[in-house]
Structure 1
Amino acid sequence: MTDQQTIDAYTAHVADYLKVPLPPEQIESRVAFADAVGSGLVLDLGSGPGSDSAFFLRQGLRVRALDATPAFVEHARENGVDAHLGTFDDVTEVAEYDGVYASFSLLHAPRDAFPRHLAAIHRALKPEGVFFLGLKLGTGEHRDHLDRYYTYFTRPEIEAALTTAGFTIDRITTGMGTGLAGSYEGFILVLAHA
């Protein structure tokens, strides 16, 4: 994610972001991801302030966090997370990770970049590596009132994109929730493997 307006919006709302409660479906999916990985190295892609990374560390996983917002990276580092400043295009590893966790981060990438990012994630995973993808459901692209850029996908589009990238989908959960902007929207949580 390289959209400066989105990065600026997150920079201005770090404290508010930390107060946004996770919906129960996301909490359960995060646990399911950690259980599926078991042990090893996880990439928290678009890690935000590192809350999920900290959870994975407590579960005994090794974690590398990557985010494009310097304020998020700084907050994560202050809390013991191995956080790095970077974008989705910085995922260049091959068969490096036992799991990749992309929780509501890839929705900030342009639609035409989505297949390329999924392919890079697939390459970065070890064989049978676990992938978690959280996205908002919908169509089109727009900015919210905080000026964050969003790309929305339908469930069939997400399933097709994952299959094309070489993933096998293990589980899909959908729900409704309220994010940082306060809007109540549908979401999809996908657990898959390479």
Structure 2
Amino acid sequence: MKLTPRDLEQISTGTLQHYNANAEDFREGTRDHDVTQNIAALLRHIDVTPPFTILDFGCGPGRDLKAFTALGHHTIGLDGAERFVAMALDATGCEVWHQDFLHLDLPDARFDGIFANAVLFHVPSQDLPRVLRQLHATLKPGGVLFSSNPRGANQEGWHHGRYGTFHDLESWRRYMTNAGFVELEHYYRPDGLPREQQPWLASVWRKPAI
């Protein structure tokens, strides 16, 4: 069923209200999550001389923004939740953009890498092609995008106050390749567990060089 502009506005507003209302609990609950495997997956595929210019897309309270900065990279955060933007600014001192994922305003060819960890699944499948094209456009030629999403059987809807879309690998590949990306690798998380105990699909993609 096609979502109307009103539906999309309600999805965005409702999801952001949930994060704003639960910002402190989210920060404490995710503070110690180990995503070093995901950070390394992005960085090892960037083929320019460091330091890199990185967009932490959906930066939340700033945990990973701080990690990239500590590694010496120039990192800009972006989030739609006002409280997360304030938290990230306070925690890192980095530049943080307050932008709704469904109403992005991104510069052309600005970033060497985009880190989209546990975030793109919030974009309704109807709008995902447009959002991915915008991310493609804000990468420099040869730039790299990392994404990690909870996987599923391509169902979408409301879950515990947030809207989510749960792609399988084949579906995610179609969206990414149709947006102009080339796959570099994918893996499932947490590492070292049986597949049925790995709810996260991580993947790394390149914008072809001109």
Aligned equivalents of 1:171, 1:16: Cα separation in 2: 33
Secondary structure in structure 2 of the residue aligned to 1:134: strand
Aligned equivalents of 2:53, 2:189: Cα separation in 1: 28
| Bigger radius of gyration | 2
Partner residue in 2 for 1:181: none
Aligned equivalents of 1:170, 1:22: Cα separation in 2: 24
Partner residue in 2 for 1:122: 136
Aligned equivalents of 1:91, 1:152: Cα separation in 2: 25
Aligned equivalents of 1:103, 1:67: Cα separation in 2: 12
Aligned equivalents of 1:107, 1:42: Cα separation in 2: 20
Partner residue in 2 for 1:27: 36
Tell me which of the two structures has the higher relative contact order, counting C-alpha pairs closer than 8 angstroms and 6 or more residues apart.
Answer: 1
Unaligned runs of at least 5 residues, structure 2? 1-7, 192-196
Counterpart code for 1:127: P
Measure how far apart 1:171 and its partner are: 1.0
Q: TM-score if structure 2 supplies the norm length? A: 0.81
Partner residue in 2 for 1:154: 168
Unaligned runs of at least 5 residues, structure 1? 178-183
Q: Could you tell which deviates more after superposition, 33-42 or 149-158?
A: 33-42
Counterpart check, 1:140 vs 2:155: yes
Relative distance call for 1:91 and 1:129 in structure 2 (3 A) is farther
Measure how far apart 1:84 and its partner are: 1.6
Counterpart code for 2:95: D
Counterpart code for 1:123: A
Partner residue in 2 for 1:174: 188
Partner residue in 1 for 2:90: 78
Q: After superposition, give the CA deviation of every residue in 1:91-132 in whole Å (9 maximum; x if it has no partner).
A: 432111111111111111111111111111111111110101
Q: C-alpha root-mean-square deviation of aligned residues, in Å?
A: 2.0
Secondary structure in structure 2 of the residue aligned to 1:112: coil
Aligned residues: 185
Q: TM-score if structure 1 supplies the norm length? A: 0.87
Runs of 4+ in structure 1 deviating by more than 6 angstroms, as ranges, are none
Partner residue in 1 for 2:4: none
Counterpart code for 1:6: T
Q: 1:87 aligns with which of 92, 96, 100?
A: 100
Relative distance call for 1:152 and 1:30 in structure 2 (3 A) is same
**Alignment map for 1:6-85 (pairs within 5 Å):** 6-18=15-27, 19-20=29-30, 21-22=32-33, 26-37=35-46, 38-79=50-91, 80-85=93-98
